[in-house]
Amino acid sequence: MRNGWNTVSLPERVDAQNYEEVRRDIAEAAKEYKDDQSFFLYLDAKKTIYISSVGIRTILMLKKEIQNIAVVNVNPSLYGILALTGMNNIIIVVPPIEEITLDGCQEISSGLNSRVYRMDEDKICKLFEPRNGLRDVLMEKQMSLKAIQAGLPTALSFQVVTCSGRYGVVYELLRFTTLSEVVREHPEQLDEVVREYVGFLNDIHGTVATQFPKAKKYYESKVLDAIGGYIDEPHAGALFKVFEGIPEGQGFIHGDPHFANLFRNEEGLMFVDLDSVRCGDPVWDLVALHGTMISLRIFNEIDVLHLGSVARYPALWEMIIDEYVRQNGSDRESLYRITETLSYGRALVYAVRHGTEGEKIQLIRDRLYRALGW
């Protein structure tokens, strides 16, 4: 097993003659990682020309024990068989990966791990950073598949590609525009867009999504377990107390729900960029949004929302919070304090790990302390 993944090469045929052997090989490759939600098992079908119904059932039964399975390097005729059985709606099936070019394509969104390009009026490509491997792309497809199965409004992910040595995934959307583009090109519609956006968040947060990793557990492992070396014990204790007050929650959490990740077409709003999807209390999406618009911009001033300037972000953030309070009847002061506290805690860990200069790290630390009321 390497870096959270393992590979089993499938034989030329998987049928009644050898399915037990195939099942044992797959189970052996994943036996230590059945409960690891980040583990991915690849079934390499490069040499495979046929999988019978008993072979398909064997793989589907193992899906109950191994959360993340992908059949890769599937030739066109075999792909047709798997699609006909509906297997590609349950397990990720990947044909041979095509190399594409994005020369001349417009960048419409960006983040720490990827950039999104408009390929044409109906398709986008999310291109990962060089440090991200195939596992990250397939995890994105897995999250997309789970979201679609849950009835959530997301784009259809249908092709894994490479571009200049980087992995990507292509999504199909029909005549779409991002919310960032709407705001940038029609600023007079900003109030309407914010109302629509907050209403959309409320809708997706109302979807029970326990099939996804827990947002609270993720924050604890990535932030609380690391932050002790960056702040003193009293402040760390105060941060933990705020964290403990957040309900577990079971709702869908996008994890990066900014305007450039939301697309509008004639069907309504839908989201892309699912590598941060979790389940939990709605506050986690507000924490992520504050990070994108406020706390992370302290050490990275990239215009990730593509609004023309990060100077527009603070006012937009205030509008979103005000509308969220209006639609949900939340206590603004309490919500604001919780969101800021958790966001600056996360930003501090990110800043240190990315080698940010000391002055900016101290500024984030000061804002965290202020949010804690110190």
Pick from 258, 263, 245: nearest CA to 296: 258
Q: Which pLDDT tens digit goes with each residue over 8-67?
A: 999 999 999 999 999 888 888 877 666 666 778 889 999 999 999 999 988 888 877 777
How far apart, in whole angstroms, are the C-alpha atoms of residue 291 and residue 311? Answer: 15
| Mean pLDDT value across residues 314-327 | 98
Q: Which of 4-8, 124-128, 150-154 has the lowest mean pLDDT?
A: 4-8
Each residue's pLDDT tens digit, 348-365? 999 998 888 889 999 999
Q: How does pLDDT run across 225-234, given as a tens digit for each residue?
A: 999 889 999 9
Please state, rounded to an integer, the average pLDDT across all residues of the chain.
91
Mean pLDDT confidence for 139-153: 87
- pLDDT (average), residues 239-260: 96
pLDDT of residue 137: 87
Poorest-pLDDT segment among 5-14, 184-193, 196-205, 323-332: 5-14
The 262-265 sheet, strands edge to edge: 177-178, 262-265, 268-271
CA dihedral 222, 226, 232, 235 (to 10 degrees): 20
Q: What is the mean pLDDT of residues 167-171?
A: 92
Interval 130-154 mean pLDDT: 87
Residue 174 has pLDDT above 80, yes or no: no
No. of helices (H) and no. of strands (E), the chain: 13, 17
Q: Place 87 in a pLDDT band, splitting at 50, 70 and 90.
A: confident
Q: pLDDT grade, residue 148 (50/70/90)?
A: confident
Q: Specify whether the CB–CB gap between 160 and 94 falls below 8 A.
A: yes
Letter string b/e over residues 126-144, b meaning 16 or more CB atoms within 10 A of that residue's CB: bbbeeebebbbbbbbbbbb
Q: What's the sign of the alpha-carbon dihedral 226, 231, 237, 243?
A: negative
All domains in the chain, ordered by first residue: 5-96 (3.30.750.24), 99-172 (3.30.200.20), 177-371 (3.90.1200.10)
Tokens read off for 249: 């929650």
Residue % of the chain over a pLDDT of 70:
97
Is residue 1 pLDDT above 60, yes or no? no
pLDDT tops 70 at residue 80: yes
pTM metric for this prediction:
0.85
> Exposed, middle or buried: residue 201 (CB in 10 Å: 0-12, 13-18, 19+)?
buried
pLDDT confidence of residue 142 = 83
- What is the number of residues in the chain? 374
Cβ-proximal residues to 343 (8 Å cutoff; 6+ apart), any chain: 287, 288, 290, 291, 294, 295
Q: CB of 72 within 8 A of CB of 137?
A: no
